[in-house]
Structures are given as C-alpha cells and as structure tokens.
Structure 1
Amino acid sequence: MNIADSSKLNTETFEMQGKCPFGGDRIGGAVGSPPTLSDWYPNRLKVELLHQNGPQANPLGEDFDYKAAFETLDLDAVKQDIKVFLTTSVAWWPSDYGNYGPQMIRMAWHAAGTYRIADGRGGAGEALQRFAPINSWWDNGNTDKSRRLIWPIKQKYGSALSWGDLMVLTGNCALEIMGFPTYGYAGGRQDAWEADNATYWGPEIWDPNDVSSFDSMVTRDKRWRGQNGDADYDLENPLAASHQALIYVNPEGPYANGDPMGSARDIRTTFTRMAMNDEETVALIAGGHAFGKSHGMVSADQVGPPPEIAPMEAMGLGWHNPKGTGFAQYTMTNGIEGSWTPNPTQWDNAYLENLFKFEWVQTKSPAGASQWTPADPDAPKTPDAHLPGQMHGLMMMTSDIALKVDPDYRKVCEKFLNDFDAFTLAFSKAWYKLTHRDMGPKERYLGPEVKLENDLLWQDPIPPRDHDLIDDGDVAALKRDILATGLSVSDLAFTAFSAASTYRDSDKRGGANGGRLALAPQKDWSINRRTVPVVTALQQVADAFNERQVGKRVSLADLIVLGGCAAVERALADGGHPATVPFTPGRVDTRQDLTDIEMFTWLKPVVDGFRNYVADNYAPITSGRVSPEELFLDKAYLLSLTAPEWVALVGGLRALGANHDGSKHGIFTDRVGVLSNDFFVSLTSVDLEWRKTDPKGMTFELVDRASGAAKFTATRCDLVFGSNAQLRSVAEVYAGSDGEARFAKDFVKVWDKVMMLDRYDVRS
C-alpha cells in the first residue's frame, strides 16, 4: 500500500489511525496475505502506470476542448473576482492581516515548486497538489485550506478554468494587489483526475501520522549519496527536494540542525534541480519572503493527520489544530512563528534590508522550531496578523540566514539591496519561470497576458518560420534524394527516432522540432554518435534543395524526420506491407545561442531501451537498486505511450536495427531493415531458451533447445517483452500467424505519434 493508505481502522468510529485497515497491525496486507500485486511481487514491472489518468477518469470527456473553453473567459473579470476575495476574510479560516495574498502565493509556489528538471515531472500543470501524496506532505500544511477558500471562484467559472490555471492565477493576483508587477500569465494547464502513481518522490518510507517530530522522520532520509561534507555528497537523481515531504529544503536547516551553511548547500542543490540559478534562487526566496508570515504557535505532535487520512467529516481537510480556535493566531504550518518584514502585505525591500542590517540570534518558536531573531532590541517590529495593537519581533529562518553567509548568494543579495528595480525584475521573471516552467512551448500558452514577443532561454525558443512549406511533390522528391545518398534504412530510422525521442510529456520539452540533434549538447552524446554522419548527409540534401528554391525551404529538422519516414516506407515495402508513412512539414531549425546547453543536458538518457542503451556509469543500475527495464518503462511513460504502442514501437525499432551502437542485441532477425514480426516470433518461441551471459543478468543469449546452438543475444530491455505478462500478451498478438500486418499498421501509427509529440504548432 502507498503511504497514504498506512492507516488503522477503528471499528467503532471508522476512523483511520495509522495502520492498514486490513490485517490488524500489518501495513499492506489482509490477514495472512497482502492485498496488492505490489505487496505480493515488489519487483513486478508496473506496466499499468502507462494507463493512469486515462479517459475513464475524466468527467469532462475526451471531446472537451479546454483551450476553447478557457478562451471564453473574460480574464480581467476573473482576476477582479480573485482580487476582491483576497482582501476579505471568512470566519472558518481568517486571513492574516486581512489579506489572503501571502497564503495564496504559498499555495501557487508549492504547486509549481514540485517541478524538477531531471525528468520534467512535478509543477502546477495538472494541479496534482489536490491529490496524494502531495496534498498530504508535511510541507504543504494548510494548502488544503487555500484551495477550499478559492473553491467559490472555481465553482463560478467551472470547467473553463482549471484548478492548475486558477492556482497560478490566484498567486499572480496576490502579488499584484500587494504592489508587485508580475511578468505575465498564461493559461493552458489541464487538470489530472487521479493521483500520480508513477512519479518517484524518494526512497524513504514515511508514516504521515508521525507528526510528533519532523526531525525524527528526516533522520531516516535515504536520498543523499556519499558522506556529508565530501565533494561527492549529492542528492539522488531525479529528486529535487532535500528531504521527503518537502518542496525545497527544511527551513530549519538540514535535519533541522540550524546550520546556515548546510542550508545554503541544500538550497543550491534543490533550486538547481528545479532549473534555477543563483540569482533566480535569491530572487524567489527574498521575493517570496517579502510577504506574509510563518506559523508555529502549536507543537506538531498536537496537530491532526493530513488530508488523505483525516476523518471523513473533515471532507478532505487535514491538519486539524485542537488549540484555541485552531486557526488565526493559533495557526500551525511549519512550526516557525513570525514575519520577515514590518509590512507583510506590501512589496518592498525590507526583507533584504533587515537581513543585512541586523545580526541574528538563533532561538526557538513557541512550537519548538529553530528560528532567528534580531540581536538589536530596537529592530523594527511587525504587527500581529490577527490581534489589533500587538507587535512582534521580526523572524528569519535558517534558510534565510543561508543567503547571508554563503558568499555567492551574498553577492546576489547585495546587488538586489543596491538596486531595488533589478530585484523587482529578477523576482518577476523568476516567478514567471517557476509557474510556467512545466508548460512547454509557447504554442500551449493561452490568454491575453502571454508575452509572445519575448523569448526566454528556458522556453527552448525556436525562431518563427519565415518561408513557405514544402508540398507533396517536394516531399516525394526529397524522399528520393534521401534514399539516393546510400544512407541505410537502419541509420535513417535511428536518426529520426533519436531526434524525436528526446521529447518528454512531463514538461513538454525536447522532440525533433528545432533540429537540436545537430547542436550541442545532443550532437555530442554517446548515444547519438551514430547520427552524426547521417545528419551531415541530410544537411547536404537540404542545402541542395534550398538552393534550387525561391521562397520555399526545407529545414534540417523536417528532413531528419522525413528521412525516417522514407526508411520506414522502404522497410514496409520490403516486408510486404507497403504503406505511406504520414509526414507533417513545418519544423524549424533553431540556433546554438537559443539552446541552453546545461538544461538540455538533463534530457540525456541514462537508459533508453528503445535504442538498447544503458550508460556505463549509471549508479542505480550498477548497484542493483533500479533495473534497466524500470527506467525503460519510465521512458515509455515520458513518451506518453500505451503498453501496445510501447511493444509495437520496440518491435519495429529492433527489426530496423536501431540499436545505438549497431549491436545485435534484440535483433532477432536475419532481415535487418525489413519491417517483419521476427522479433516477436523469436521472443515467444517455445523451441528456444534464454541463458544469462553475465553474473548480474544484464545480457543473454538465445539457445536452440534441440541443438544447443546460440542464435541471438539480448539485453533486459529486450527480454522484458517476453517475461512481463502484460507486455507478452501484446507481443503474442504480433507473433501470431495473422499478426504481422496488424503490427505493421500499429508501428506506422506509433511512429507518427512519436514524430509529432512536440508539434504543438499544429495540434492542441
């Protein structure tokens, strides 16, 4: 069972009390036997993850057009409704200082802040803050109240305004009513309809009922590699938060130890993993802490369970606080109490001014959390958020002091101290990046506040097309020119797939558009070495064509994909299944100066089973902790493939000989370059058996049972299609006597899907 299910049922009250409702005290199982496949077989490949959040879960139906619905909104009217709400207060959860703005900034920040550059997962895009496990993370305490407070606005605009768009828009409106000029806003986030079961959030086992001490929970943290203080001490990929159940870092310092330099290390690691540089990091922290306060009036061990296991009558709200009213001056979130500035609802530079003007002394909050207070008794005070006339001393967190003691962060702080306008612009752009980083290309952006004229490097810009598209006659001629180069079917298909398969649906980055396969860093990846001479030859074909044209051009990006289509058509014809492979022109070549090499390096695969690639130095595999087939499944997920599409695509790539190094692993045919179902026939044969050829079981050979002769070789990323029951069931369809024609048709369909994954310029 997942951590949200780790509860015990009280048979008198039907309340969840920290252990599984089946099997007494045994987490994860009914009496005598666990109830789930994962409990029974923990190493089973969870192919069903490819089908989560399917159309059956969506109450709006597959035909619902969110773009069309969003564009019916009067965005100014929506924003006005939000801004009116922000300066009110309701009795069941009163606003601090009579302004919900700071609370809503936190909600939006924590929704977007789950984004991580390593695999593009997280972010505000699907409003996953509504579901487990994110909705019940310790660091998201009381964001459930924020979402419930804006429900009347969501209810008013219905399906035309997604939760993802509303949460970010509310954060923007909150900044604006407090005097901050936002950089812009784009809609277009489509909500998920079920919890995300595919994302790996960390190796820890966490009991959400154990709120007695966050410190005791993080001491079991397993995500850091190496020894603390060593040069190789680092956070496990693809994780971005420093500890389980956090968005970024523990504000009290690593393991709540109050160490500012250790906190600076964690901040730099986590914000870098979230695609932020030092200047953006300081801008976000200093900008966010210009508003509002932190809450720590009640000890954590007195606060109730998070939303996912709260009592039914709480109706999805968690963290019940039994002290006083449970809210207002009694509110509890992270345990730290106080405000950073004298005017917590106004944009100013007081946060940085106070951080550097005063010496700060470590102390404890009423809840016992580590925090800092000015040593100078004459330092400015801040008003109580709810009690008129009461004043309090300022507060800083250990993660704030970190910005002062770290030399590089300090330089950025001093720059912003001396230039408030530069600080304002930096925070405005960093907030825009934070809340839009996971949305992909600007073709997906909706609304009148979209800054289409301004390209930011993190948006992976592609220049606008300035020439006419090639027509059907040009396509046919170019196919002939490509095949006339003598490039093999295998090399052409491999190159096209290598360009397109960088796409990841998590943050809509990568893909063939832009022609970045010819640019650093992709051209230098070892997995792409085989593409280099192919790209050179295709560039010559493109140059020759373009020299003959007036006003019409073919981009290298288009030609790489077209070369793959020509190769597949040749393979289909040679296999006896002639067909035209769809091709949609319109890709544009970008430039090296428009390519953020550091950020694109994160797209480099460590395992790509489609091309039978495993990086030599990938530690999780060599340590035996993560298998290649698990990461192969993850790659299929990021390409938004179904299980049948995954099987068909791999079978076709193996028939085409599309291994990254030209090896024979998985090439179960003597007709390489012909689209046949030979891969599936050999994979499912009862006359053959597989034997390991290395102790770790990474490579295998196929042996004829009768003669004992070795026939083929394979990797785990080949054999998984015969060993996994769900994948084998699909492979058997294609291996059948009537399966080859079906396979050929399905391969063409999934090939076109992969080539078009990034074409948001022509698809919704």
Structure 2
Amino acid sequence: MKDIENPQGLSECPFRGTRIGGALGTAPQNEDWWPQRLPVDLLHQEQPVANPLRDENYKEAFSKIDYEQLKKDIKELLVSSKDWWPADYGNYGPQMIRMAWHSAGTYRIADGRGGASQAMQRFAPIGSWWDNGNIDKSRRLIWPIKKKYGAALSWADLIVLTGNCALEIMGFPTFGFGGGRRDAWEPDRGTYWGPEFWDGKYIDEIPKTTDHKGHPGEMVNNNLRWVGGPKDEYHDLENPLAATHSNLIYVNPEGPGGNMDPIDSARNIRESFKRMAMNDEETVALIAGGHAFGKSHGAVPADKIGAAPEAAPMHQQGFGWHNPVGSGNAEFTSTNGIEGSWTPNPTQWDNDYLTNLFKFEWKQTKSPAGAGQWTPVDPDAPKTPDAHLDKHEDLMMMTSDIALKMDPEYRKVCEKFMNDFDYFTEAFSKAWYKLTHRDMGPKDRYLGPEVPEEDMIWQDPVPVRDYELIDAVDIAALKKVILDSGLSVSALVNAAWSAASVYRHSDKRGGANGARIALDPQNNWDLNRPAELNQVLNTLKGIQSDFASKLPGNKQVSLADLVVLGGCAAVEKAAKDAGFDVEVPFTPGRTDATPEQTDVESFDWLKPVSDGFKNYHNDKVGYKIPAERIFLDRAHLLNLSAPEWTVLTGGLRVLEQNFDHSKHGVFTERPGQLTNDFFQVLTSMDYEWKPQNYEETLFNINDRATGSTKYTATRCDLVFGSNAQLRNLAEVYAADDAQERFVNDFIKAWDKVMMLDRYDVKDE
C-alpha cells in the first residue's frame, strides 16, 4: 500500500530493514550497493551444474537425427495454423523468418557477442526487447518439434533451421545450413547492450555519463545510443553497440527517433549493419529479401499492450505482450506498431518489393497504432491481401525501406538487384547464410548434410593439412633449435601469446591457427611489438625452411605451429630457470592461411582497444569505464576462469609481456623466469601504493622503510590486490608453498589459450 513515507508502495525487508521493490520485492544486489564493484563472477557463467544436458554428446546426437524427416516435420508445421495464434495468410513462414533473423541479428563484429549460437532469445533482456514482440509465440509454436527431437536438437539450431525451412516453403533456395549450436541455460549477464528501456517508448532525454570516479563524461543519448551531441548532430554509435536504439535489433523502422527521415535512416542502417559485419550489398539483400515475405503488425497502440515476457504475470506462463483488443491476435496483432505488407504476394519469393519501392511514389501516413509508415501515392498501385480477412489493403513501406531508394549507394545496389533477379536471389541466399552462421566460428564446428563445400571469407578459413604431422622426436629437436637461435624468452612468448590471445570465444574467431600473426593487419598492430615480432617470425621461417629439408617423406611443420611451439619452449626455459623442469603441452596440426583467405577489414575488428594482459591501453579511444573492467572483458572473451586470468597475468608480467617493454607490473628482480614474484610483491605489506595521477591510472610501489619507488604499476596490475575476489586468488599464488602450483597452473592456462581455436581436434 502506498503511504506518505513510502509513496511507491515498496515493501520493507523484514530481516535487514532495507526497502525492496519489484514485482514481488527484490533485495538490493551487490551492484546496487557497490556500483563500481568489478564483477569477476562474470567469468564463471555457464556453470556445468546449470546444464541438464551436460552429459550429452550433442555432436553425436545431432548426427543420428533423420535430417530429411526433421525438415519435413518443420515444413508441415509451418502450414498448420493454430487457433491460439493464427498464421498470417495460413503460413507461419514469415514470422519464423523474423524469429531466426532476430535471433542471429544481435551479432556484432566489435566483440563478437550476440548471434544465434546459444539461443539467448529465450532469456532476458533479449527475449523481452520491444523489437522481439510476439516472438515468444513463434518459439512456442515450434515447441512440438523441439519436444519430439529433445536433446538431439538444440533450440539454437532449431530456430535457425526453422527460418531456412520457412524460406524454402515460399520458393526461396537457401545456401545451406550448419548445425552445432549449443544452448545456453542461463541469461547472459556479461554483454553490454546499452541502456535498457522496457516500455518500448523512444526516450529522447540525453543524460550525462560519468567516468569511473563519478566525474561528468560525454553526452550519450540513451535512446538512440549515439555519442557526441544533440540528436541532429550524431557523431558515432556508442562502442561496441550495433543496434541504434534500445530494445531494437537494428534500427527504428520509423527512422531515427521516429523522425521518418529516409536519409537519416540510411545513415543508421549503414552503421548498424556494418557493425553487424554486413557491407552495403549484403545489407540491401537482407532488407529487400526479408521484406519480400509477410507483413508488419500495428493494429493496436503500444500503450494498450501488456508487459514483456519477463515482467508478465505468472498465469501467462512465459507469454508477454498481452493484447486485450479483440481476439488479441490475427487481425488485432501488434508488434512494432507498423501495419501492412510490402508485396502483393507475401508468401512467395519474388522481386515485387524492389519493383514496387521504385515504381511508385510514397507518402507518409500513420498505422492504426499511430506509427509512422508510407503508402503509395498512386491509387491504382497493387493491393495486398489481408492476412486474415477477406479484403485487400494498400501496400506499406517503412522509413527504413524508403531509405534504400533515397541513399545513392543503396539505390545502386537495388537497381542491380532489380535488373538481375537471379543475382539478387544468390546475394540474399549468401547474406542470410552469413547472418545465421556468422557467430559459429570455423567450419569444423558445423554439423549436418547441408553444410556447403564452399569456404566463405567471413569464416576465416585455413588450408586443409595435406602433409604428415611432426612427432615427439621432431618437436624436441625443433625446441632445441628455437632456443639456440638467440631469440629471447620474452620475444618468443610475445609471438605465441599475440597469435593465440586474439581469439574470441564469443564468435570463435581469432587464435593461432592460420598464422595470421604474420599477415596484415595483425602483423602490424602496435600492441604486438611488431619489430620484435617480425624478427621472431623471420627466424622461425628460416628454421621452418631448414627443418623441412631434413624431414623425411611428406612430413612438414607450419609457421603457425612453430609460433606456438616457440612460445611453449620459452615457457619451459623460463620455468627451468626458476628451478622447475616441466614440459609444456604442444599439439601440432595448425596450417598457414594466405592473404587471400583473410578479410583484413573484418580481422582488424579483433584488435583490442585495451588489453590488460599486455598493459595496453589506446589513449586515442575515449573510455567511460576503467581499464580493469575492459581487462575483465578480455578474460571473458578468452573463456578464462578467474584463477586462470589471475595466474596468466602474474606469469606474463614476470615474462615481460608489456606491449611497450615498460616495467609496469614487472614485480621481480629476475625477469624472464617463471616465478610467483608478481604475487609476492603485490600482497606484501613492505610496500605502499601511491597514484601518479589524479585519474589513478599509474602508480608507484614504494618501499615503506625508505620511501623510494621500487616498482611501477597500472590499474590492470593492482586490481589483483584491490579486488576482494582476485586478491584471495593472488594470495594463493603468493604463499611460500605456491611456486610449483603457480608454474603448473600457468602452464595449464597457457595451453588452454594456445588451443582455444583448435576445433579440428576438440569437440565443442
């Protein structure tokens, strides 16, 4: 009950006397009490205990499915309308295309997050975004298929395959399908999607952001997500976001902020689709191809629609967006608020979308829900059948459609597609394949009979090995040659770490396989110490050539393998110099990619803007969060646990891996040896820590007795002493009995990173 002292009617916690709120009342969380807390627990998501299918071999189970029967089951379901959610035009195909598109369309190239691979559409926040309105019904409609095939068919694979089947039943030839996506079993707590507004309204306030100390930062429009200035002077889309509005997958179909300006819309489309790894031709192909089917729904205003699934009452059992008008579905359906179809034949693949877009002039109008849309000026323009009633309606275009006609570059692509329907069909087919598979990583992970033979450059292909692998004797001999070459431990470790640590577990891109560390653009990244790196690569190439002449038969060693082997040999030497005779695991089999197999522009997105492992921070980039938070993100992208993150950092510091050869964090008198000195100094009370600047980005480590500066450090060093969770881990490795544990744990974590991209030999 509301009262004067409690105007919002919040509950009082009976145990701690704290005020709680929410649907049934939820206590303040750590993030509420300590908003600057470093959420190290993000590294421990996807716990095996959360997965009820953890003992299942998905690859084996999927291979046993009668694939043709599966597709037949899906296609039969798509034309079997259900009374509780009637199919538009008697065909669920269009809404299933939307379901698959919106599942895959969250992918973004900046950090590889999003996409269809884990079916995150089933959880908040994605499942409750306004743009995903009524997709909850689409997933419930295909539940009978999931129920039949059970653990052998993930939701993630089913969603994408259903989209493919939907296209096929409407006459469109798909390019292919690869299974192998594994479902998540808990919401993604680590991905930053931008500020969330849950009511679906477009809020035009532009609040100020703050830096990590609470000082005012740049202006950010929380609705439009553009950094820089007022909404008519946008500068850039906030990194790493790809969607231009809160609650949307791509852009506002009514135009930025609903302003119905096609030119502004085109700018938003280009930036958004570029951030989702699509060029202009792919962008037009996806929009024009997708809008060849189905309709948009806007029969009822947004303020009449109920809460999203995550906030819906229990009796709705996972359904959201309750519509109280009429039957609540069929002709009364509302999703994004725009009403109508783009073509006269909404369940047939044809070129009518582009033909009508360019043949007719279009005028602004409003949908029944009040959303801005466009209708033909010519009263004799073709009509489209109503999806449920025995009548015809005017065609509809969105502002984002008119943008393709108004933007000069998009217009050229449209005209090419109009003049060559076969080319358009092929372009949409390949773009759809890329959209729905972009986040899956190497083709080694693809399953099923419809995986295309053709390698696409966005898959970062590597050559198939056509030679015999080196054996243990060869490996031992190569290690000796490498260590006798005069290359330093630090230089060898840098080359191997730089090659492997670019991997992203989000979209399975990067890694040492392919030896792209020797190619543009990775070869020239400043954080890889390029001059030193190329000295190492040239030496290893000489060893490769010399060794090849001595190897019997068809046995060879790739540069990619030599780079990793050199790092492993260096770690062994560093451990031996510290008093431990150990062997670092090494698995050969990598091959060397060519420049023609490398998309330079796409690969350049893999370069970190900040990398705490190397104490690298690009000061030309404006940051709104502290370096250690980005460092945590790097560890997350490498799929590291908190102990692995901790032990790797301590080891890399004493092995002198700072990108600029600085001494920040090199807390040792014996650099190049694999010791636990970093942790011993970090946890010692013989020192005190003094900031060098107001922002607390650099620090002096001073001897308490003399006051002299002994070491220097960055935030990415001292976070392992300041954060409670990380300090407890640092203390484990700082203990007097911990040196051997430290060496062994470092080697295990090192091997994990070296093997992250080896999907040719591991089942993930």
Scaled by the length of structure 2, what TM-score is found? Answer: 0.94
Q: State the match for 2:168 in structure 1.
A: 176
Query: What is the alpha-carbon distance in structure 2 between the residues aligned to residue 365 and residue 217 of structure 1?
Result: 25
Q: State the match for 2:401 in structure 1.
A: 400
2:196–2:247 contact (8 Å) kept in structure 1: no
Query: What is the alpha-carbon distance in structure 1 between the residues aligned to residue 12 and residue 281 of structure 2?
Result: 51
1:251–1:397 contact (8 Å) kept in structure 2: yes
Matched, 1:198 2:190: yes
Q: What whole-Å deviation, never above 9, does each CA across 1:309-329 have from its counterpart, x for those lacking one?
A: 100000000000000000000
Cα 1:715/1:268, change in 2 over 3 Å:
same
Q: What whole-Å deviation, never above 9, does each CA across 1:691-713 have from its counterpart, x for those lacking one?
A: 01122111111111111111111
Matched, 1:707 2:706: yes
1:297–1:365 contact (8 Å) kept in structure 2: yes
Q: State the match for 1:584 in structure 2.
A: 587
SS of residue paired to 1:711: strand
Deviation of residue 29 (structure 1)?
A: 9.0
Deviation of residue 576 (structure 1)?
A: 1.3
Cα 1:134/1:377, change in 2 over 3 Å:
same
Query: What is the alpha-carbon distance in structure 2 between the residues aligned to residue 32 and residue 429 of structure 1?
Result: 48
Q: State the match for 1:538 in structure 2.
A: 540
Deviation of residue 532 (structure 1)?
A: 2.0
How does 1:348-747 map onto structure 2 within 5 Å? 348-388=350-390, 390-451=391-452, 453-528=453-528, 529=530, 530-549=532-551, 550-620=553-623, 625-747=624-746
Q: State the match for 1:52 in structure 2.
A: 45
Cα 1:55/1:707, change in 2 over 3 Å:
same
Amino acid at match of 1:248: Y
Query: What is the alpha-carbon distance in structure 2 between the residues aligned to residue 22 and residue 302 of structure 1?
Result: 31
Query: What is the alpha-carbon distance in structure 2 between the residues aligned to residue 236 and residue 117 of structure 1?
Result: 13
Structure 1 segments (4+ residues) deviating >3 Å = 17-34, 213-220, 227-232
Deviation of residue 19 (structure 1)?
A: 9.0
SS of residue paired to 1:548: coil
Stretch moving more, 466-475 or 171-180:
466-475
Match for 1:243 among 242, 245, 260? 245
Q: What whole-Å deviation, never above 9, does each CA across 1:713-761 have from its counterpart, x for those lacking one?
A: 1110000000000011011011011111111110010000000000000
Q: What whole-Å deviation, never above 9, does each CA across 1:391-415 have from its counterpart, x for those lacking one?
A: 0010000000000000000000000
Query: What is the alpha-carbon distance in structure 2 between the residues aligned to residue 21 and residue 379 of structure 1?
Result: 59
Query: What is the alpha-carbon distance in structure 2 between the residues aligned to residue 369 and residue 756 of structure 1?
Result: 51
Q: State the match for 2:212 in structure 1.
A: none
1:29–1:35 contact (8 Å) kept in structure 2: no
Amino acid at match of 2:173: P
Cα 1:595/1:581, change in 2 over 3 Å:
same
Query: What is the alpha-carbon distance in structure 2 between the residues aligned to residue 18 and residue 32 of structure 1?
Result: 12
SS of residue paired to 1:537: helix
Query: What is the alpha-carbon distance in structure 2 between the residues aligned to residue 536 and residue 71 of structure 1?
Result: 44
Query: What is the alpha-carbon distance in structure 2 between the residues aligned to residue 352 and residue 644 of structure 1?
Result: 55
Query: What is the alpha-carbon distance in structure 2 between the residues aligned to residue 318 and residue 518 of structure 1?
Result: 51
Q: What whole-Å deviation, never above 9, does each CA across 1:436-459 have from its counterpart, x for those lacking one?
A: 0000000000000001x2111101
Q: State the match for 2:265 in structure 1.
A: 263
State the identity as a percent: 65
Matched, 1:77 2:63: no
Q: What whole-Å deviation, never above 9, does each CA across 1:668-707 have from its counterpart, x for those lacking one?
A: 0011111111000000001111101122111111111111
Q: State the match for 2:106 in structure 1.
A: 114
Query: What is the alpha-carbon distance in structure 2 between the residues aligned to residue 718 and residue 657 of structure 1?
Result: 13
Query: What is the alpha-carbon distance in structure 2 between the residues aligned to residue 519 and residue 465 of structure 1?
Result: 19
Q: State the match for 2:60 in structure 1.
A: 68
SS of residue paired to 2:438: helix
Amino acid at match of 2:620: N
1:127–1:192 contact (8 Å) kept in structure 2: yes
Query: What is the alpha-carbon distance in structure 1 between the residues aligned to residue 101 and residue 578 of structure 2?
Result: 54
1:28–1:39 contact (8 Å) kept in structure 2: no
Query: What is the alpha-carbon distance in structure 1 between the residues aligned to residue 312 and residue 286 of structure 2?
Result: 32
Q: State the match for 2:215 in structure 1.
A: none
Deviation of residue 541 (structure 1)?
A: 1.1
Match for 1:89 among 63, 75, 81? 81
Match for 2:292 among 283, 290, 313? 290
Amino acid at match of 1:608: D
Query: What is the alpha-carbon distance in structure 2 between the residues aligned to residue 392 and residue 19 of structure 1?
Result: 47
Cα 1:216/1:669, change in 2 over 3 Å:
closer
Q: State the match for 2:115 in structure 1.
A: 123
Deviation of residue 22 (structure 1)?
A: 6.3
Gaps of at least 5 residues in structure 2 are 207-220
Deviation of residue 480 (structure 1)?
A: 0.7
Query: What is the alpha-carbon distance in structure 1 between the residues aligned to residue 700 and residue 27 of structure 2?
Result: 36
1:252–1:397 contact (8 Å) kept in structure 2: yes
Query: What is the alpha-carbon distance in structure 2 between the residues aligned to residue 35 and residue 604 of structure 1?
Result: 37
Deviation of residue 194 (structure 1)?
A: 0.4
Cα 1:26/1:64, change in 2 over 3 Å:
same
1:22–1:30 contact (8 Å) kept in structure 2: no
1:19–1:27 contact (8 Å) kept in structure 2: no
SS of residue paired to 1:438: coil
1:19–1:26 contact (8 Å) kept in structure 2: no
Amino acid at match of 1:355: L
Q: State the match for 1:14 in structure 2.
A: none
Query: What is the alpha-carbon distance in structure 2 between the residues aligned to residue 654 and residue 296 of structure 1?
Result: 58
1:342–1:381 contact (8 Å) kept in structure 2: yes
Amino acid at match of 1:118: A
Deviation of residue 232 (structure 1)?
A: 7.4
Scaled by the length of structure 1, what TM-score is found? Answer: 0.94
1:124–1:435 contact (8 Å) kept in structure 2: yes
Deviation of residue 616 (structure 1)?
A: 2.2
Query: What is the alpha-carbon distance in structure 1 between the residues aligned to residue 231 and residue 52 of structure 2?
Result: 51
Q: What whole-Å deviation, never above 9, does each CA across 1:361-399 have from its counterpart, x for those lacking one?
A: 0000000000000000000001110112x1001000000
Matched, 1:753 2:760: no
1:657–1:673 contact (8 Å) kept in structure 2: yes
Amino acid at match of 1:626: I
Cα 1:20/1:102, change in 2 over 3 Å:
farther
1:22–1:31 contact (8 Å) kept in structure 2: no
Deviation of residue 214 (structure 1)?
A: 3.6
Query: What is the alpha-carbon distance in structure 2 between the residues aligned to residue 104 and residue 542 of structure 1?
Result: 52
SS of residue paired to 2:719: helix
Counting matched residue pairs gives 740
Amino acid at match of 2:743: A
Amino acid at match of 1:591: T
Deviation of residue 221 (structure 1)?
A: 2.1
Deviation of residue 658 (structure 1)?
A: 1.2
Cα 1:513/1:33, change in 2 over 3 Å:
closer
Deviation of residue 612 (structure 1)?
A: 1.0
Q: State the match for 1:6 in structure 2.
A: none
Amino acid at match of 1:659: N
SS of residue paired to 2:685: coil
Q: State the match for 2:325 in structure 1.
A: 323
Amino acid at match of 2:440: M
2:117–2:183 contact (8 Å) kept in structure 1: yes
